[in-house]
Structure formats: structure tokens, C-alpha cells
């Protein structure tokens, strides 16, 4: 019986992956990494072993990774601290003799500082390099934008205002539902033949925000339009609305990435691992906006 440890086990992706692993009824030992016993209470209720560790404290990671065969390394949530934290995780995994590491990276075409999402890209590119240079076998997934975040880009008042306002031009996005990714990770973690492979976790279809406006019109019964302003106007509008500067930066970065065709590539990788089509954006949006 091999041992699987999931980092970030109390977060949305980690906990969903554990749920899917439990549904598979595998004979693998499942361990969740959490920063405190308090945060991990829900995991213990599911019968999952919990180990305490922190990306900022390498010694806690090495102890937590002891005896682990496969590590699901979910990228850290604090973008500004990722580089050092990710080094800590990879080095601790090597010291603990972890055999295989599964890493949640990001999909991209532009790997230079000119990328509008370089703030996201930099740490992921470094982490992939560290993993590939280690002696561990690996599986790296290049994740498109979470479909779950699309409503945030649309804005809370999108139906009332009757308009999507975003500088993404008429380009497309192959977003993926987080729970679909979690199900795929569970299959990778409990399966075989994934050594030293890189998968593109994009949807099998890509849609533009103009198409999304059409979906919202059909779902809500109200006419929804789409306007793609220039970036300066967009930033000013959000700033005047009281949106925090960091949130504006991330929204603008991803909007520009979409406009520059960074996130429009479809793939069959996720579909092949799931054994079915990934959830479509229209199917995801329907219960949200009905």
C-alpha cells in the first residue's frame, strides 16, 4: 500500500481531491497536510490522517513528508511568497525521499516577463524547473483558469447592469471547473503511467466573453451585452468603484492574457483522464445565474 499526501488539504482544491480519492475506494493511505489541527478537523471526520506542516517552515515539511510515496503539491496561495515556499516544499520532499511529485502549475504560451500574468508565471516556472531537476519522478499539470472564478470577472451586478465589462477583447478562454481538476488529480494520484508527464488541464472547448454574454442572456432571460474597454479606462473604473489595487492587477493581468490568446488553447488531456467531457462553461453558469 502506497502513501499519498495532499498539501493544502483544507483548501478548496485539496479537500475536493481528497473527497474524490475517498470515492475511488483505493487501497492507498491518504494523508492531508494542514497548518493547524484546528483547520484539519473536517479531514479527521472523514477518517483522513492529518500531518501538520507549513510552507514557510522546511523542518515541519520534511517531518510531514516522511514515508510518503506520492506528494500532491498544490501551489501556495500567497503569490508574493511562492518562490521561497515552493523551494522549501521541493527540497523537503527530496530530503524525505518522496518518490513521485504531482504539481499544480498553470497553462501558458508566453514564458517571458512580457507576459501579462508574469506575476503568476515566475514562481510556477521556477518550481517546474526545481522539480524536473530533482531525482523524483513527476507529473505536472498546466492548469487553465478555474471556471469557478469566471463570475468574479463578470462582476456581482452583471445581470442587473446588463453588461459584461472586461478588457479581454473577443478572444477565448478554455476555463476548467476546479472539481473536474480535483477528480482528475485523484485518478492520477491513485493510478499508474503518469511518470514524468506534463498534462494540459484546459477545457475541450473555448469561449469568448461575447459568447458568455449570450449564455447569460439565455439563462437569465435578460439581454446581456459585452464591452471590452481599454485597460486604462477599466483600471480607472474599478479604482473609482473601490476595488483593491491588488485585485485590479490580477483581473487586468488575466484579462490581458485572454486578449493576447494566452488561455484559449483547448486540450483532450483532462477529458482523457476523466473519461468524460469536462463540465462546460454554460452548464456551470446556468445554476449560478438562473
Domains and CATH numbers, the chain: 3-143 (3.40.50.720), 145-176+202-264+275-290 (3.90.25.10)
**68 has pLDDT over 80:** yes
Torsion of CA 247, 248, 250, 251, to 10 degrees: 110
Q: What is the pLDDT of residue 38?
A: 86
User: Does position 78 have pLDDT exceeding 90, yes or no?
Assistant: no
Residue 14's nearest CA partner among 259, 213, 181 is 181
- Spatial separation of the C-alpha atoms in residues 281 and 203, rounded to whole Å: 9
pLDDT at residue 207 is higher than 90: yes
Q: Do 49 and 30 contact (CB within 8 A), yes or no?
A: yes
Confidence of residue 150 (pLDDT cuts 50, 70, 90): very high
- The confidence score (pLDDT) of residue 266 equals 98
Confidence of residue 22 (pLDDT cuts 50, 70, 90): very high
pLDDT tens-digit profile of 95-139? 999 999 999 999 999 899 999 988 888 999 999 999 999 999 999
- pLDDT above 80 for 21: yes
- 212 within 8 A of 285, measured Cβ to Cβ: yes
| Band of pLDDT at residue 39, cut at 50, 70 and 90 | confident
Q: What pTM was estimated for this model as a whole?
A: 0.95
Give the whole-angstrom CA distance, residue 220 versus residue 126: 43
pLDDT for 87: 97
Beta carbons of 116 and 262 less than 8 angstroms apart: yes
Which residues, listed in sequence order, are joined to residue 67 by a DSSP beta bridge?
Answer: none
Q: Are 167 and 252 in contact (CB under 8 A)?
A: yes
| Pairing outcome for strands 207-208 and 172-173 | antiparallel
Q: Residue 226 forms beta bridges with which residues?
A: 164
Residue 263, pLDDT score: 96
* Structure-model confidence comparison of residues 27 and 128, the more confident one: 128
Residue 91 three-state SS: helix
Which of 60, 66, 77 lies closest to 14, judged by CA?
77
Q: What is the per-residue pLDDT for 25?
A: 85
Amino acid at each position: 500500500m502506497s502513501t499519498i499526501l495532499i498539501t493544502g488539504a483544507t483548501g478548496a482544491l485539496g479537500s475536493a481531491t481528497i473527497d474524490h480519492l475517498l470515492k475511488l475506494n483505493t487501497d492507498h493511505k491518504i494523508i492531508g497536510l494542514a497548518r493547524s489541527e484546528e483547520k484539519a478537523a473536517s479531514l479527521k471526520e472523514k477518517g483522513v490522517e492529518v500531518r501538520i506542516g507549513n510552507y514557510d517552515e522546511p523542518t515541519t515539511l520534511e517531518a510531514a513528508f516522511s514515508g510518503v510515496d506520492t506528494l500532491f503539491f498544490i501551489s501556495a496561495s500567497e503569490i508574493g511568497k511562492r518562490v521561497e515556499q515552493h523551494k522549501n516544499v521541493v527540497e523537503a520532499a527530496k530530503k524525505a525521499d518522496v518518490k513521485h511529485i504531482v504539481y499544480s502549475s498553470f497553462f501558458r504560451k508566453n514564458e517571458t516577463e512580457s507576459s501579462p500574468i508574469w506575476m503568476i508565471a515566475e514562481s510556477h516556472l521556477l518550481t517546474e524547473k526545481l522539480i524536473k531537476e530533482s531525482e523524483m519522478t513527476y507529473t505536472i499539470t498546466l492548469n487553465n483558469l478555474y471556471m469557478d472564478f469566471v463570475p468574479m470577472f463578470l462582476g456581482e451586478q452583471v445581470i442587473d447592469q446588463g453588461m459584461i465589462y472586461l478588457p479581454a477583447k473577443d478572444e477565448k478562454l478554455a476555463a476548467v471547473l476546479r472539481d473536474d481538476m480535483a477528480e482528475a488529480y485523484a485518478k492520477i494520484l491513485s493510478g499508474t503511467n503518469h511518470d514524468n508527464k506534463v498534462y494540459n488541464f484546459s477545457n475541450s472547448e473555448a469561449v469568448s466573453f461575447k459568447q458568455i454574454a449570450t449564455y447569460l442572456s439565455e439563462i437569465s432571460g435578460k439581454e446581456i451585452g459585452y464591452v471590452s474597454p481599454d485597460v486604462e479606462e477599466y483600471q480607472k473604473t474599478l479604482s473609482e468603484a473601490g476595488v483593491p489595487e491588488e485585485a485590479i492587477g490580477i483581473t487586468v493581468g488575466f484579462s490581458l492574457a485572454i486578449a493576447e490568446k494566452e488561455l484559449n488553447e483547448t486540450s483532450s488531456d483532462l477529458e482523457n483522464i476523466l473519461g468524460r467531457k469536462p463540465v462546460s462553461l454554460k452548464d456551470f453558469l446556468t445554476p449560478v445565474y438562473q
